[in-house]
Structure 1
Amino acid sequence: MKRKYLLLFVLSLPLFLSSCTVVYKSTGDVLLGYAEDHGVPYMLASNDVALGCSMAEAFTPFLSSFSRVTAPPDQLAVLFYLVAGNCIEAEAQEQELRYLRAIYAKNSTEAQDARIAQQRLLEIAAHRQLTGYYSLVAAQTEPGGECPEFDSDNTELFWLFGLLNGIQAILNDIASGGNIEVPLDIAAKVGRGAACLDNEKWWGVPAAIQSAIWIVIPGNNSAGSNPRSNLQQSLEIGAQQGMSVSHVLAAQVYLGQGEITEVKQIIRSYASLSKQAADNQE
């Protein structure tokens, strides 16, 4: 009798496992569809940065795990890795402030510890953003070649997110000491990929990406172009449309170049823009 039940169990096991796979797949499809249709718009519309960070860092591995049972959520991964990387950048900035306080207090041990912590966090940020860039490659195509045929504004937006992943991965890898070894040829690919987007439509960000690349890695710009002037124009376009993405990118670039006066001016402009946005919401 025991052998009979054992044989029945063995014969039914494949059917049971296959039914679990079907359940996992359908569950994954539903959750990924919900995340793209409702979760992402909600996160982008929120002005609570901490909650956005919590959502991105918690859901990124969870949603990515469904690639084991259904189509990989590469397009969603582009955004989630971008946000998760930016969240780590914010932690790195706190460590930089700790470093400056230690320098002011003439505490060399504390300053060294803060600088090491900052570089480690920037290393994590660069790794996440590089993963987001490669997710764009998997979801659409490798930037730098022919422009893809965008079937919607949403597809263009995720293309823009992927390009931001690429340029920020390079910037943070340089700032962390180059431990991730982000391929520098990504810069040229991202620059050409930015030309696939309408600069006015997307808040001046495509031109800001190109200008950032030309400033950080000289020699990539076309003859006769002025990357700093182009970057300033991108800031003005973003300000006119109430979008500050170019401001954040410009601040990163000038901070990396050690141009503190420019960084302060961008922060003032960003603060004014943020106040206007808050007043408009009220």
Structure 2
Amino acid sequence: MKSSRFTRWVTTGAIAGLTGLALSGCGLIYKPVGHTLNHYSLDEIVPYALGSGDLDLAACGTGMGLNQLGGSFSRVINRPARLMIVTNTTASFCSEMQAQKYHLLVQRNLHNGNTDVAQDNRIVAQRWERLTALRRYQVYNDTVEAYGEIGAEKCPNLSNELGTDQDEFVYLTGVLVGVQGLLNDIQANSSVGIPQNVAAKAGRASECIDNIKWWGVPKALEAVVWLSVPGNAPQDADPWAQLRQASAQGKQAGIALPAMLYALAAYGQSDTAREKEAIKMVADIYNAYDPGQKPDDRDEDNAAAQYLLLNQIAYNEALYLSDRIWIDDEGHRTPLVALGSFPGEGGATQEIDADSYLN
């Protein structure tokens, strides 16, 4: 009897020991796997997504899907802040597209006199703006975790072990998206509580990024901050001239992002003439580049090829602003593939046979 009890005790202890060893073995495996997947995501998945032209797939597919996987790495390694900057950025565009959809519905229903429906649409839009602000504030916080306080006296070290531009791009992304998050929060009645000084910090941080190398985006961002934060611009600053110059620089590189920032700044200042000018710039830059049929066909030395997704983001943002103008004047969105044309200019309005929808 004693021997039987002793045998059971030994067996139970052995099973427990083996289980613990197995679990600890899994832990040993998880760490290198976490590091490997983190680096693979940054080195391969992110560049592939940036070179794609499908914003919906990159934002709502790659961004949303990779976000949870990347976030889980923090359970076995240090938080992969650089990767999370990218995944939350792309995921934020997915929620922002939903917010924009409902903002346009607000306009259409107000145009048609449906005030109750418009009010409901506005509430839904604010919910999506809040979610977007939350994601973008996380981008800001991860940027601080990865590179130190934004806008500090000393610029961060943006070199990496591979000698690539990856950290410069990720830092630029974090700084820019942090400002966008503040604007989303304002649309959501400041319900997230993103600090107002984020914009001023981003303006200072833009000086740490090579303006020529990154197609005029840093100077465009700085000008946006000058226009958005009263008293923040130097006495001799001309933000509109700086935005035009940055947009021209972006055009030369085939990148529409500075022109998009010009359009957003003009919209924020209710300057419709400049807004239309900037939207046309985005359309011209976007239409000037015709990518290859497959990613492998594209010129890797061409910025527009490597960062095709950025032009798609710029196009979508400009299209949203264009849709607002069209709905205000005509009650409908921008006609198909007619970005850069506006009501009253002729040639863009599509004649619709209403009877064809009834037959």
SS of the equivalent of 1:143 reads coil
The normalised TM-score by structure 1 is 0.94
Aligned partners of 1:99, 1:245: CA distance in 2, in Å? 27
Whether the aligned pair in 2 keeps the contact of 1:175 and 1:256 (CA below 8 Å) is no
Distance 1:88 1:247, change over 3 A: farther
Match status 1:75 vs 2:82: yes
**Equivalent residue in structure 1 for 2:103, among 96, 106, 118:** 96
**Equivalent residue in structure 1 for 2:204, among 192, 202, 207:** 192
Aligned partners of 2:129, 2:172: CA distance in 1, in Å? 21
- Sequence identity percentage: 33
Aligned partners of 1:163, 1:37: CA distance in 2, in Å? 21
Alignment gaps of 5+ in structure 2: 1-6, 294-359
1:140 aligns to what? 147
Q: CA deviation at 1:100?
A: 1.3
Residue 185 of structure 1 aligns with an amino acid whose one-letter code is N
2:58 aligns to what? 52
Aligned partners of 2:131, 2:266: CA distance in 1, in Å? 21
Aligned partners of 2:243, 2:127: CA distance in 1, in Å? 29
Aligned partners of 1:256, 1:160: CA distance in 2, in Å? 22
**Equivalent residue in structure 2 for 1:252, among 257, 264, 268:** 264
Q: CA deviation at 1:216?
A: 1.1
Deviation track 1:16-65 (CA, whole Å, cap 9, x = no partner) reads 22111112212212211211111011000000111101110111121111
Whether the aligned pair in 1 keeps the contact of 2:243 and 2:259 (CA below 8 Å) is no
Alignment gaps of 5+ in structure 1: none
Higher helix share: 1
Distance 1:93 1:109, change over 3 A: same
1:85 aligns to what? 92
2:231 aligns to what? 219
2:128 aligns to what? 121
Mapping for residues 1-80 of structure 1, pairs under 5 Å: 1-53=7-59, 54-80=61-87
**Equivalent residue in structure 2 for 1:210, among 213, 219, 222:** 222
Residue 87 of structure 1 aligns with an amino acid whose one-letter code is C
How many residues are treated as equivalent by the alignment? 281
SS of the equivalent of 1:239 reads helix
SS of the equivalent of 1:87 reads helix
SS of the equivalent of 1:59 reads helix
The normalised TM-score by structure 2 is 0.75
**Equivalent residue in structure 2 for 1:269, among 281, 285, 298:** 281
**Equivalent residue in structure 2 for 1:170, among 182, 191, 211:** 182
Residue 281 of structure 2 aligns with an amino acid whose one-letter code is S
Q: CA deviation at 1:274?
A: 0.9
Q: CA deviation at 1:281?
A: 4.3
Distance 1:127 1:72, change over 3 A: same
1:228 aligns to what? 240
SS of the equivalent of 1:195 reads helix
Q: CA deviation at 1:2?
A: 2.8
Root-mean-square deviation over aligned CA pairs: 1.6
Whether the aligned pair in 1 keeps the contact of 2:200 and 2:229 (CA below 8 Å) is no
Q: CA deviation at 1:185?
A: 1.6
1:110 aligns to what? 117
Residue 55 of structure 2 aligns with an amino acid whose one-letter code is V
Whether the aligned pair in 1 keeps the contact of 2:86 and 2:170 (CA below 8 Å) is yes
Whether the aligned pair in 1 keeps the contact of 2:147 and 2:157 (CA below 8 Å) is no
Aligned partners of 1:142, 1:174: CA distance in 2, in Å? 23
1:155 aligns to what? 167
Residue 17 of structure 2 aligns with an amino acid whose one-letter code is L
Q: CA deviation at 1:4?
A: 2.4
